[in-house]
């Protein structure tokens, strides 16, 4: 009784028995004098057939894992893309928050500028009022000095006669 092959074969692949007969036939090189194994093609089949056969076998044997791997890759790509979208939205929210804070700072700065300008205007008005009062006092002092110069009291004060106990007497002439 024949035992079933452990691996399923494709119709294009030769059976193990056929491969052994082909190998035995290939060993007999007609050009060889002693009939030794000189054909390297029998021992090493062409790379194209080995690669094609290996790929077909691996794809047919691993169709479900290949499909699941493709699905996993697609899900990973989707996750990375959605993560990038989330990061972009987060950056937009942070930028909007910074813009709001900047606007608040600008409003606060404008408010402080207005307060300082109002305070500066008040101080400037007070200095102008003080300057006006000083000018007014200066005019009054000038008028008093002019009035005193018109009388003899300034000369008497300079001579010290106003400080005495006796009233000032004017010489009779």
Mean pLDDT calculated for residue range 130-145: 94
Give residue 66's pLDDT.
Answer: 80
Handedness of CA 56, 58, 62, 67 (dihedral sign): negative
Residue 28 three-state SS? coil
* Token pair of 119 as six digits: 């305070």
Q: Quick one: pLDDT at residue 1?
A: 46
Q: What is the mean pLDDT of the chain?
A: 75
Q: Is the pLDDT reported for residue 64 higher than 90?
A: no
The pLDDT tens digits of the residues spanning 76-106 come to 888 888 878 888 899 999 999 999 999 999 9
Name the percent of the chain lying above pLDDT 70: 58
pLDDT tops 90 at residue 33: no
Under 8 Å between Cβ of 68 and 53 = no
For residues 19-26, average pLDDT: 51
Q: What is the pTM assigned to this prediction?
A: 0.37
Q: Which residue has the higher pLDDT, 35 or 111?
A: 111
Give 170's contacts (C-beta < 8 A, 6+ positions apart): 152
Question: Residue written as tokens 């077909």?
Answer: 56
DSSP state of 36: -
């Amino acid at each position: 009784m024949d035992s079933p092959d452990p691996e399923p074969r494709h119709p294009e692949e030769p059976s193990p028995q056929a491969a052994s007969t082909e190998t035995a036939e290939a060993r007999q090189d007609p050009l060889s004098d002693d009939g030794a194994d000189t054909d390297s093609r029998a021992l090493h089949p062409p790379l194209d057939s080995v690669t094609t056969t290996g790929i077909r076998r691996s794809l047919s044997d691993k169709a479900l894992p290949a499909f699941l791997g493709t699905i996993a890759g697609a899900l990973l790509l989707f996750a990375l893309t959605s993560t990038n979208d989330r990061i972009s939205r987060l950056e937009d929210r942070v930028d909007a928050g910074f813009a709001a804070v900047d606007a608040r700072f600008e409003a606060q700065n404008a408010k402080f500028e207005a307060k300082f300008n109002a305070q500066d205007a008040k101080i400037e008005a007070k200095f102008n009022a003080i300057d006006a009062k000083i000018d007014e006092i200066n005019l009054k002092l000038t008028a008093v000095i002019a009035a005193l110069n018109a009388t003899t009291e300034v000369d008497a004060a300079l001579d010290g006669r106003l400080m005495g106990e006796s009233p000032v007497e004017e010489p009779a002439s």
